[in-house]
Structures are given as C-alpha cells and as structure tokens.
Amino acid sequence: DSGVTQTPKHLITATGQRVTLRCSPRSGDLSVYWYQQSLDQGLQFLIQYYNGEERAKGNILERFSAQQFPDLHSELNLSSLELGDSALYFCASSVEDRERETQYFGPGTRLLVL
C-alpha cells in the first residue's frame, strides 16, 4: 500500500460525458502528479500540482483539467469524453518537487468510455 488513494476504482461512462477522478496523496506530500496509461500510448505524464499551484504540464488535452485543494487532495476533470479517453489514470505524490524524489503511485482509476 503506497498510501495514495484514488477513487473511484472503475468508471464506465458514455461519450460526451464529464467525469471527475479524485486522488488523496500520502500524508505530508505536497506534490501530486497525474498520469494516463493506455494500450497505444503507454504511461504518459499529464500534469503536476505542488502545494495547490500548477507546476508542470505534459500531454494533457484541453478537455482535461485538474486542481489541487488546500487539503492537498487533487481532482482530474475529464470532459466531452471520447472513446480514446478510455485508459488507466494514475495519481502519484511526492514530498517535494525534485527530480530525486520518489513518486508513490495510487492504484489507479480505470475509465471506460462507451
């Protein structure tokens, strides 16, 4: 158990809909990362927040957005969903924001868009 929790575990929805994925980082971790894992693209970095502020952006679509709240939990919002958004979404956390920091991953949310 990494200490990072993600809800829900599974999500099935239809094209055009909007969903929210939730992540609670390990206690004391200030940095939260979101990654997407699909069969054709592998594991890709989406976005990072550090202590409530956006710190880095990766290959995140404009239809996707995220935020980190004062209690440090984070939400990833996916809107106008398409079939190709079906994937595993992982959240990770680390204490600080340095390249030597270990990232601890949650169990993921499996999203299926029908």
Partner 1 sequence: DAKTTQPNSMESNEEEPVHLPCNHSTISGTDYIHWYRQLPSQGPEYVIHGLTSNVNNRMASLAIAEDRKSSTLILHRATLRDAAVYYCILRDEETSGSRLTFGEGTQLTVNP
- Residues making contact with partner 1 (CB under 8 A): 2, 4, 31, 33, 35, 42-45, 48, 55-56, 58, 90, 92, 94, 97-108
Is the Cβ–Cβ distance between 32 and 46 less than 8 Å?
no
Is the Cβ–Cβ distance between 91 and 34 less than 8 Å?
yes
In the complex, what is the shortest distance from the CB of residue 69 to partner 1, in angstroms, rounded to a whole number? 20
In the complex, what is the shortest distance from the CB of residue 7 to partner 1, in angstroms, rounded to a whole number? 14
In the complex, what is the shortest distance from the CB of residue 26 to partner 1, in angstroms, rounded to a whole number? 12
Cα separation of the two ends of the chain: 31
Residue 64: strand pairing partners:
78
